[in-house]
Chains A and B, each alone.
Chain A
Amino acid sequence: MLSGGHLLSVLIFFPAVGALALMMLRGDDHKFIRSIAMLVAVAEFLFSLLLLRGVPIGSSGYRLEEFAKWIPAPPIHYHLGVDGISMFLVLLTTFLTPISVLASWSSIRHRVKEFFVMMLLLEVGVVGVFLSLDLFLFFLFWEMVLIPMAFVIGIWGHERRVYAAVKFVLYTMAGSILMLVGIIWLYNATGTFDLPTIQQMLANGQLVLEPRTEMLLFLAFFVAFAIKVPVFPLHTWLPDAHVEAPTAGSVMLAGVLLKLGTYGMIRFCLPLFPDASHRAARWVAVLAIIGIIYGALVSMVQPNLKKLVAYSSVSHLGFVVLGIFAFQRISMQGAVFQMLAHGVSTGALFLLVGMLYDRRHTFEIGEFGGLSTPMPKLAAFFLFVALSSLGLPMLNGFVGEFLILLGTYQRHWGWAAWAALGVILSACYLLWSYQRVFFGDVTREKNRALSDVSLRENWILATMAVVILWMGIGSPFITRRTAAATQTVMDQAEPQWAYEAAARVSAMPHAKTVSLHVTQTMGVEKLGVR
């Protein structure tokens, strides 16, 4: 059954079954509850490894598709499928979930059962988003992600948790409801919610959107995704949510939830509205570059370590957005890789910051200092992860950023130059904060007796470090598998200017005179230029 037709459904609903089982559980044996959650999460990860077999290298299009009728009017289908891009994002999700479960092993002490139920439900929603090929189904899972995350922030977070949770939900919902209007509008134009069908209609010219309509639709989708990413002026929910969330919440938020936005851009914005995407690319790139530099600068002056990591996410995801909207194959590959790399490295950074918090109950950099003396292992891991995050060659952050900059340069050297500034800045803020936290003398007496990493933490960090290193060295393992899918997206995102073409065809009778006129004026202009 697993390798057969229903692997994707199993992947989506297995954690839901686990969550249901946990909910049914009577009694309050924390250890038992944690073990069950861990078991479910690990089993889910193992299932998801089967995807690697299901999506062969070089295969384009969606694999392992599942299709069932759900609601006849309007026709909504249960349509799942996976390609090279979504496969790795699912793997990232199923990898980070057990890590988060393990990370909350001892730091979550009250309402333990509910916490793990929420973590598993979160996994259901996220995996569902990555695997849906029906716009309606996609929207369903997209909204489903909100509630568990809001609860995780709001119940198990820090002091201003309720504020952060409500802000998170309201921001995301504002975008997604507009997206719903966009989805329905698109349905009105096409008569279907099925993504592959719509793509086909676009490809063979059955569906031609007027430029203004296309731009509005593009914006309806783009704003929803941009809030999630978050792209520069829409990012204000992120620092609050990150700082207030418990460690596991931050890991999932940074590691996976932000990728929902960039994934949405790749999967929906570009292929569905290629012309509008190309038209908007310049503006999006400007916002992305502002985000890269702004995020880095704010990180630099942050006295709060967790906020620093949060703002670094704004900066790093600016790279991803830039890579997507540069419309180069290499930069698109880089964007996909950077999504995965950022998920692992920033997830690891949040884990480390969470470990510091467990010991000292503060995120203030000023409260730390000289920590490498009492905890050398933690310091070593932190350095390793920080280096990967700032893009040291051989580690995972480098591959993504390099590919993105390479591709962006082909598009416009200025974009690449400005973005490269972000790479330098990221080295500044990470190394500077590392120096203030770990090097020098121990400035606070309290810090002198801090315990180094426990066995459990050691395992978590070692796993993360191995993955970081492997992604840096063995990056072809990933890029070879995403190549075909990114190529497909690039082909679909090829601007067709279909509306203009259609208008030209309808203006055929006048074509001769017009073209004559055009050549004449062009000739004149050329002369003028010379």
Chain B
Amino acid sequence: MFPHAIDVHRVLPELIWCAFGVLVMLLQPFVRSRQFFTSFVHGGPGFYGLVQSDLFSFFFRLLVGSVSFLVVLAAGPYLDREQLPVAEFYALLFFATAGMGVLASAQELLTGFIGLEMSSISSYVLAGYRRDSLKSSESAMKYFLLGSFATAFFLYGIALVYGATGTTRLDKMALTDGTSTLLKLGLALILIGLGFKVAAAPFQVWTPDVYEGAPTPVTALFSAGPKAAAFALLLRIFATVPAATKYWFWAFWVLAALTMFSGNLGALAQTNMKRLLAYSSIAHAGYVLVAFAAVTSMAQGGSEEAAPAYAAVLFYLLTYALVMLGAFTVVSQLGGAGEKNLSIDDYAGLSQRQPFVAAMLSIYLLSLLGLPVTAGFFGKFYIFKAAVNSHLISLAVLMAINSVIGAYYYLRVIVVMYMREPSAEAAAAGPVPFPLGVNAVLLITFVGTILFGLYPNPVINLILRRNLLGH
């Protein structure tokens, strides 16, 4: 007599726990090392140095894992509303997450490439998940074409680097002197390839279109997950390989300045919420690149004194991911069937129609703006600090100017929500329902934003640990 499927479903969590318990018991006799069971803290290289399990990859795995968890929570109501197939969505989402994890823990360039492809290919499909929508298909197509182009750059770069150093492993590459032109060229191509993924100017033009067309929960994923993972690999390459560190300071300086300005200036003219947030995500990539410039300006990227700059990057990505997820979740839910209400004007008088949602969105926007008591403020603060530490005063001032430009368009949304009356039809339509899962996402991201805004210590302490990068 077998239990019905539904019965199994009802006790699924317990079953999973039991399955793991049994697995551990079965493995125990065969595994000598005690560290096997607690290995994610006591990290080290795996697969003969292809991957590195250290605090750095732990942080990013946790980050992308949390991101996809929150996307799962937020996507349920969205898929129901848009009548989209469910299973494939989650499958693709998890493949993408796995790819990001590989990307973040790769210690070798080809492994990184596999991670990149895993996450990218799933992302292409996810971007076009609303098959009957023209915009969604356009988004997928653009993402695919430009993405594969970028991957080609990346791959070619790996080939050149291999030609120059005879290895694709980063730790071995770190030992080579790196004066050869071939290596520089290869690293430039890698930088371009990953620059596409993190939407750094001048490789950012795809971002607004792709973000706008993709289903909104997927956009939330794009803005937080793959970007963080690509930054992780970029940091690992350009911070640990001295050859990469030495010559790239000015490249990052210029990239950062260009990215900040193109993102913020582009966002000024937007009337669509998704496009606005897309441009803002470009701008934020620029802020992260400021910290990269700070890292690479140090004589030794992997050294002790660069630790605060790493910490700035990691902390910023965390706070940014939280906020972007929250904001896109609100946008997704308010979009309504077929994602019709995406214009900023649709947010008029939101504070009167749905005060809770308006307050949440305001907190996210204020965090993006970098106002104190939100996580975004500390994120910016640490980047400013890293920049000033490395004597990049001019870049810090450019970032300050950009923060003010950014303030304008974030404020505009808040102004519309709080200082304008709702349109007649919006008022008549009544409040948009916010189901439990979505509210949970909002609450988690809100609590995270305020918590890290008041008390960033635990995270900072974690990432300031000495051997962040496992050496």
List of A residues within 8 angstroms of B15 by Cβ: none
List of A residues within 8 angstroms of B420 by Cβ: 162
- 9 closest residue pairs by CB, A with B: A177-B400, A140-B372, A154-B419, A184-B388, A174-B404, A143-B372, A181-B396, A184-B385, A177-B403
A187 contacts partner chain B, Cβ-Cβ < 8 Å:
yes
- Looking at A140, A170, A184, which has the most chain B CB atoms within 10 Å of its CB? A184
B279 contacts partner chain A, Cβ-Cβ < 8 Å:
no
User: Per-residue 0/1 for A154-178: is the Cβ within 8 Å of any B Cβ (1 yes, 0 no)?
Assistant: 1100000110011001100110011
Q: What's the least CB distance linking A114 to chain B, in Å?
A: 8
Give me 21 A-to-B residue pairs in the complex whose CB atoms sit less than 8 angstroms apart, sorted by A's number: A73-B308, A73-B457, A73-B464, A140-B372, A143-B372, A143-B377, A144-B371, A146-B371, A154-B418, A155-B419, A161-B419, A166-B408, A166-B415, A169-B407, A170-B408, A170-B411, A181-B393, A184-B381, A184-B385, A184-B388, A188-B385
List of A residues within 8 angstroms of B372 by Cβ: 139-140, 143-144
B418 touches A180 (CB 8 A): no
User: Per-residue 0/1 for B262-303: is the Cβ within 8 Å of any A Cβ (1 yes, 0 no)?
Assistant: 000000000000000000000000000000000000000000
Instruction: Say which residue of A71, A181, A185 sits within 8 Å of B456 (CB atoms).
Output: A71
Other contacts beyond A154-B415, A181-B396, A185-B388: 11, CB < 8 A: A71-B457, A73-B461, A139-B372, A143-B377, A144-B373, A162-B419, A166-B411, A166-B415, A170-B408, A173-B404, A180-B400
Q: What's the least CB distance linking B88 to chain A, in Å?
A: 43
Given contacts A139-B372, A162-B419, contact A184 B384 (CB under 8 A): yes
B436-460 residues with Cβ-Cβ distance < 8 A to A are: 455-457, 460
B366 contacts partner chain A, Cβ-Cβ < 8 Å:
yes
B412 contacts partner chain A, Cβ-Cβ < 8 Å:
yes
Instruction: Say which residue of A162, A165, A170, A187 sits within 8 Å of B385 (CB atoms).
Output: A187
List of A residues within 8 angstroms of B343 by Cβ: none
Q: What's the least CB distance linking B293 to chain A, in Å?
A: 15
User: Per-residue 0/1 for B147-182: is the Cβ within 8 Å of any A Cβ (1 yes, 0 no)?
Assistant: 000000000000000000000000000000000000
Rounded to whole angstroms, the CA-CA distance of A165 and B408 in the bound complex is 11
List of B residues within 8 angstroms of A147 by Cβ: 366, 371
B389 contacts partner chain A, Cβ-Cβ < 8 Å:
yes
B371 touches A143 (CB 8 A): yes
List of B residues within 8 angstroms of A173 by Cβ: 403-404, 407
Rounded to whole angstroms, the CA-CA distance of A280 and B371 in the bound complex is 31
B397 contacts partner chain A, Cβ-Cβ < 8 Å:
yes
A221 contacts partner chain B, Cβ-Cβ < 8 Å:
no
A74 contacts partner chain B, Cβ-Cβ < 8 Å:
yes
User: Per-residue 0/1 for B388-399: is the Cβ within 8 Å of any A Cβ (1 yes, 0 no)?
Assistant: 110001001100
Question: Which chain A residue lies CB-closest to B362?
Answer: A147
List of A residues within 8 angstroms of B461 by Cβ: 72-73
Rounded to whole angstroms, the CA-CA distance of A292 and B291 in the bound complex is 44
Q: What's the least CB distance linking B342 to chain A, in Å?
A: 22
List of A residues within 8 angstroms of B388 by Cβ: 181, 184-185, 188
List of B residues within 8 angstroms of A222 by Cβ: none
List of A residues within 8 angstroms of B415 by Cβ: 154, 162, 165-166
List of B residues within 8 angstroms of A184 by Cβ: 381, 384-385, 388, 396
Rounded to whole angstroms, the CA-CA distance of A181 and B419 in the bound complex is 32
List of A residues within 8 angstroms of B371 by Cβ: 143-144, 146-147
List of A residues within 8 angstroms of B366 by Cβ: 147
Question: Which chain A residue lies CB-closest to B405?
Answer: A170
List of B residues within 8 angstroms of A155 by Cβ: 418-419
Q: What's the least CB distance linking B407 to chain A, in Å?
A: 5
Q: What's the least CB distance linking A347 to chain B, in Å?
A: 25
A151 contacts partner chain B, Cβ-Cβ < 8 Å:
yes
Rounded to whole angstroms, the CA-CA distance of A73 and B457 in the bound complex is 8
Instruction: Say which residue of A165, A178, A180 sits within 8 Å of B381 (CB atoms).
Output: A180
B457 touches A188 (CB 8 A): no
Rounded to whole angstroms, the CA-CA distance of A202 and B407 in the bound complex is 35
Instruction: Say which residue of B373, B408, B418, B455 sits within 8 Å of A71 (CB atoms).
Output: B455
Question: Which chain A residue lies CB-closest to B415?
Answer: A162
A178 touches B400 (CB 8 A): yes
Question: Which chain B residue lies CB-closest to A175?
Answer: B404
List of A residues within 8 angstroms of B384 by Cβ: 180-181, 184
Question: Which chain B residue lies CB-closest to A146?
Answer: B371
List of B residues within 8 angstroms of A139 by Cβ: 372
B418 touches A72 (CB 8 A): no
Question: Which chain A residue lies CB-closest to B455?
Answer: A71
Question: Which chain B residue lies CB-closest to A185?
Answer: B388
Q: What's the least CB distance linking A437 to chain B, in Å?
A: 31
A140 touches B385 (CB 8 A): no
List of B residues within 8 angstroms of A165 by Cβ: 415, 419
List of A residues within 8 angstroms of B418 by Cβ: 151, 154-155
List of A residues within 8 angstroms of B396 by Cβ: 181, 184
Question: Which chain B residue lies CB-closest to A186?
Answer: B388
List of B residues within 8 angstroms of A72 by Cβ: 457, 461
Rounded to whole angstroms, the CA-CA distance of A139 and B371 in the bound complex is 10
Question: Which chain B residue lies CB-closest to A154?
Answer: B419
List of B residues within 8 angstroms of A73 by Cβ: 308, 457, 460-461, 464
A169 touches B411 (CB 8 A): yes
User: Per-residue 0/1 for A472-493: is the Cβ within 8 Å of any B Cβ (1 yes, 0 no)?
Assistant: 0000000000000000000000
Question: Which chain A residue lies CB-closest to B378?
Answer: A71
List of A residues within 8 angstroms of B389 by Cβ: 188
A181 touches B400 (CB 8 A): yes
Q: What's the least CB distance linking B455 to chain A, in Å?
A: 7
Q: What's the least CB distance linking A236 to chain B, in Å?
A: 16
A410-461 residues with Cβ-Cβ distance < 8 A to B are: none
Q: What's the least CB distance linking A228 to chain B, in Å?
A: 15
Q: What's the least CB distance linking B271 to chain A, in Å?
A: 16
List of B residues within 8 angstroms of A162 by Cβ: 415, 419-420
B36-92 residues with Cβ-Cβ distance < 8 A to A are: none
User: Per-residue 0/1 for A183-214: is the Cβ within 8 Å of any B Cβ (1 yes, 0 no)?
Assistant: 01101100000000000000000000000000
- Looking at A73, A140, A170, A177, which has the most chain B CB atoms within 10 Å of its CB? A177
List of B residues within 8 angstroms of A180 by Cβ: 381, 384, 400
